[in-house]
Amino acid sequence: MNISHHFDDATLMAYASGSLPQGMALLVACHLHWCPHCRQRLAEAEAIGGALLAQIEPMSLKADALKSVMDRLDLEEEIPLPQIRPVQTATDLPAPLHHYLQTNLDHLPWKRLGYGVHHIDLNLKGPGATRLLKIAPGVSVPHHTHAGNELTLILRGSYTDEFGRFSAGDVADLDGEVKHQPIVDTDQDCICLIATDAPLKFTGLMGRLVQPFIGL
């Protein structure tokens, strides 16, 4: 995979500090799955957390805390947390998303939004929205701006906008006043995962598409 667009530092710091909404965290995990460059950068962002933990003003635990934990060590059976291994399946999805969807992109119940556009709402909790969007070749999404942060991960196909060409594995990490007009630039559908942290209304790429059609 030839990745040329990565996350903003601030996004990786938010992921490292655990402060991203669930959908954005899922999207970041998907790109990390594909991108050694961002994994290295994440290690740096996590090291900030390690340094901050080491220098925090400690807070005493209850007097019997050590004893009660030590007592539990003996009772501990190996109950490992479920680990989602990056198995190579027939899917072209990154493991975290595949784990969530349990199927591949071709077998999803896509809903039509408008001319050349289909979507699926992942219905994740927390602020913002997380959706899969499928845009047909040649379809251009109108100029739009973002309120809050909006992350887009290209899963299949590609599009071109003012910032360049985005193909599978690339992320667009946009916020605030950004204006762009993506157009699907091959004869293949462009499928992307989009996550926002805007709490109240849909904005950005999704908003422009979704609002006129479902009247949100």
Here the tokens at position 190 are 């462009």
Regarding 65 and contact with another protein (CB under 8 A), the answer is yes
Tell me how far apart the alpha carbons of residues 129 and 216 are, in angstroms, rounded to a whole number: 12
Nearest residue to 103 (alpha-carbon basis) of 93, 112, 118, 114: 93
CB 43 within 8 A of CB 37: no
Q: Report in angstroms how near the CB of residue 53 gets to another protein at its nearest.
A: 4
Q: Which of 26, 38, 195, 206 binds Zn ion (CB under 5 A)?
A: 38
Q: How long, in residues, is the chain? A: 216
Q: Which of 1, 4, 37, 47 binds another protein (CB under 8 A)?
A: 47
Restricting to residues 162-191, name those near another protein by CB under 8 A: 175-177
In sequence order, what are the residues at sequence separation of 6 or more whose Cβ sits closer than 8 angstroms to the Cβ of residue 20? 11, 14, 28, 197
Q: Which of 24, 26, 30, 35 binds Zn ion (CB under 5 A)?
A: 35
Residue ranges binding another protein (CB under 8 A): 8-10, 13-14, 16-22, 25, 29, 32-33, 36, 39, 43-62, 65-66, 68-70, 72-73, 76, 78-86, 95-96, 99, 125-127, 148-149, 175-177, 197, 199
